[in-house]
Amino acid sequence: MNPIKSKSLIYGCMGLGGGWNQNSITAADERVAEMAIEAAMEIGISIFDHADIYTYGKAEEVFGRILKRRPSLRSEMVLQSKVGICRGANPGDSSIYNLSKTYIIAQVEGILRRLQTDQLDILLLHRPDALLVAEEVAETFDHLKQQGKVKQFGVSNMSVSQVRNLQRCCTDPLVANQLQLSLGHTLMLDLGVAVNTRLVAVDSGMQGVLEYCQETGMTIQTWSSLDKGLYTETPHSQLTDKQQETSKIVAALAEKYSTTPASIVLAWLMMIPMNIHPIIGSTKPSRILACKDASSINITREEWYGLWISARGEKLP
């Protein structure tokens, strides 16, 4: 069974651990992480999303320290992490991707050690590896599950064809695809309405992703869900005319529904009729708490389209 419940937010832990540097984790870093976790759980979040590379492993490490001090929290959480990006591994300082069996297993061992837990609930493949062998990855998944180290598996930033290629070899269904989707990044929606028009863009690999996930029950976990506060916190003086107009609509809806702009933007995402789970990543409790109404607000169809058209900056075909 997919542990990700319907209409729920995910807390993204990329900002935890004190920054993308080699500095040691401080007591202040631990306090920031603990307060963020507490705020997330206060608004009903139970899914915590990690990656082996986040703040060079410190995000998982600081999280693990908190779990060690407060072990009762583990039973209330779904812990998820990602592997596959070898940050700066190329001599030219470019990241490369590695989804080989030996690499995935080694990274999972490191994740479990840093999180100070025996098992991950979900493991995602962070980016497509051009050298991926689907049969080898499926064998790796079976090994990790049989060892009791991972319960379920999914992907991140993969197209329908890439998911299908992997799924054909996997024993269990892939439970999630983590993708960029937000009011400010509506490529998947735009491609859908551009069918049979001269506006159809070159296929980015996102064509049919929403339909595939609806067909299979695969969850879409949306990253950059709030567009870094573009429509909710950025001063109007720093926005384009189009962005200002969208921001005003968001604010008006927040007033109408007696909530926050952040909750409106997230509610817009969650109205898409797939299993959409927005990831929020602020380390500030006030910003996390501002998302609390996202799953309970139901804007109208006209309001939903109004926001999308405004963000697009052009009429629908």
Q: Under DSSP, is residue 165 helix (H, G, I), strand (E, B) or coil?
A: helix
Is 60 exceeded by the pLDDT of residue 201? no
Task: Please tell me the pTM assigned to this model.
Answer: 0.95
State the average pLDDT over residues 199-217. Answer: 79
List the chain domain ranges. 10-312
Query: Is the separation of the CB atoms in 37 and 88 below 8 Å?
Result: no
Give the total residue count for the chain: 317
Would you state the pLDDT for residue 202? 55
How far is Cα 147 from Cα 296, in angstroms, rounded to an integer?
39
Is 50 exceeded by the pLDDT of residue 1? no
Cα radius of gyration (the chain): 20
State the average pLDDT over residues 125-130. Answer: 98
User: What is the DSSP code (8-state) at residue 94?
Assistant: -
The confidence band for 115, taking pLDDT boundaries of 50, 70 and 90, is very high
Q: Under DSSP, is residue 305 helix (H, G, I), strand (E, B) or coil?
A: helix
Residues 64-104: pLDDT tens digits?
999 999 999 999 999 999 999 999 888 888 999 999 999 99
State the average pLDDT over residues 224-232. Answer: 97
Residues 49-64: pLDDT tens digits?
999 999 999 999 999 9
CATH class of 10-312: alpha beta
State the average pLDDT over residues 262-288. Answer: 96
Would you state the pLDDT for residue 195? 78
Specify burial of residue 205 (Cβ count, 10 A radius: 0-12, 13-18, 19+).
middle
Q: Where are the beta strands (DSSP E) in 43-126?
A: 47-49, 78-83, 85-86, 96-97, 120-125
In which residue are the tokens 């009762």 written? 72
How far is Cα 65 from Cα 67, in angstroms, rounded to an integer?
5
How far is Cα 210 from Cα 302, in angstroms, rounded to an integer?
21
User: What is the DSSP code (8-state) at residue 201?
Assistant: P
Structure tokens at 258: 């007696």
Beta strand 219-223 with 276-280 is: parallel
Q: Which helix (H) or strand (E) holds 220?
A: strand 219-223
Q: Which helix (H) or strand (E) holds 82?
A: strand 78-83
Q: Which helix (H) or strand (E) holds 115?
A: helix 101-115
Amino acid symbol at 176 = A
How far is Cα 220 from Cα 213, in angstroms, rounded to an integer?
7
How far is Cα 48 from Cα 303, in angstroms, rounded to an integer?
30
Which residues, in sequence order, are CB contacts of 9 under 8 Å at separation 6+?
40, 43, 44, 45, 47, 266, 277, 278, 279, 280, 291, 294, 295
Mean pLDDT for the chain overall = 94
Give which of 98, 18, 70 is closest to 108, Cα–Cα: 98
- Of 246 and 275, the one with more pLDDT: 246
Would you state the pLDDT for residue 88? 86
